[in-house]
Amino acid sequence: MTDPAAQAARTDPAGGADPAAAQPAPTSDSAAFAIRTTDLTKRFGRSTVVDGIDLAVPRGSVFGFLGPNGSGKTTTIRMLLGLASASAGEVRVLEREMPANLARVLPAVGALIEGPGFYPFLSGRANLHRLDSADGFASASTRQARVERALERVGLSSAAGKKVRAYSLGMKQRLGIANALLTPRELIVLDEPTNGLDPQGTREVRTLIRSLAAEGTTVFVSSHLLSEIEQMCSHVAVMRAGRLVAQGALDDLRGAGRTHLRLTVATPDAPTAVATLSRLGVPPAPLGESHPASHPADRPAVRPANDSAIGPAIDPAADAAESTALEGELPETVPAETVVAALVADGVRVRGFAVERASLEDLFVELTGEGFDVVQ
């Protein structure tokens, strides 16, 4: 299943994955999916927030659900959990049709949805007791022990007696995760679990998720931060503007990124360098898209030199001529040293030169767009 998905990500970065390509064969191994959606769509009035997505979350995976703010992640999660109804499409969670089997499915699902929600005037422990007693399937006799264990797992035991309004954001977040862990779950859905956590807390959450996965629980984590997903997930799906633009095992997606060799050249002689690079057949790369000024025809893209790749190495004040960073995508057939030699031969003053394997972040940015604009 991963190959077509990765391919979809490559071929159709903006328009969403072709359903046929992104979908594994539905009949053969559908039992292996903790979450499965078909053409899931949510419209609010005229705007389509989630647009025909086909999620496939394998059982036992740690599934990263990635996308910028406003890309429809939380809405999707709400539909998965039956909080919002789908405008179209189907949802299956733990192999059951979803809005119909809420009562049977949800006891096996723990969730943290868009931040924690607790009664501020109750203690953390009392809040967990209340939520646990709301779950008709949770046995009352083991409640005490389960609550304490959940609190311990998130490191809140000592603060459990305090009223929630005295909690910091991070503590509330932990309490929210504790709530998701109250009973043994088959699937845990965590929406932005590390929001508001300090680096220490983030690491703990990561460890927690790994240990959950080790127990065989499927973990579905949403985040807008790739670095988090990259460190703990086995599978990833990427949302952009309500569409699923990539989905698959993390390694496969990385593999898809392997074809990207990013070439960065810092030089004051930009025009000459552009000519040289073009002659060498360095293919166009859309990596510099964030600069609207750069004309699409200007390939490779041109951008100021204060870029992290080469910036620290060169002091622009040392030379009268300002350096410009050129970026290009290097085909694997062209050795890097050939490029350097050609540039030098053409009299280009090369002040910086780097060839990097494109990281998942590049892929992410490529798929989701860059910058702060919330895409609607």
Where on the chain is the footprint of another protein (CB under 8 A)? Answer: 78, 81-85, 87, 99, 102-103, 106-107, 109, 111, 113-120, 131-132, 134-136, 179
Cβ-based nearer residue to another protein, 83 or 314: 83
Residue 33, beta-bridge partner list: 58
What Rg, from alpha-carbon coordinates, does the chain have?
Answer: 24
Q: Shortest gap between Cβ of 261 and another protein (angstroms)?
A: 44
Alpha-carbon distance 81 to 102, whole Å?
Answer: 8
Q: Shortest gap between Cβ of 84 and another protein (angstroms)?
A: 4
Cβ-based nearer residue to another protein, 192 or 366: 192
Q: Shortest gap between Cβ of 170 and another protein (angstroms)?
A: 16
Q: Shortest gap between Cβ of 202 and another protein (angstroms)?
A: 22
Look up tokens 């025909």; give the residue.
52
Q: Shortest gap between Cβ of 97 and another protein (angstroms)?
A: 12
Q: Shortest gap between Cβ of 235 and another protein (angstroms)?
A: 22
Residue 235, beta-bridge partner list: 63, 249
Cβ-based nearer residue to another protein, 16 or 110: 110
Cβ-based nearer residue to another protein, 77 or 249: 77
Q: Shortest gap between Cβ of 146 and another protein (angstroms)?
A: 13
Cβ-based nearer residue to another protein, 5 or 106: 106
Alpha-carbon distance 265 to 281, whole Å?
Answer: 15
CA-to-CA dists, residue 106 to 30, 101, 118, 186, angstroms: 19, 8, 19, 10
Cβ-based nearer residue to another protein, 220 or 353: 220
Cβ-based nearer residue to another protein, 87 or 272: 87
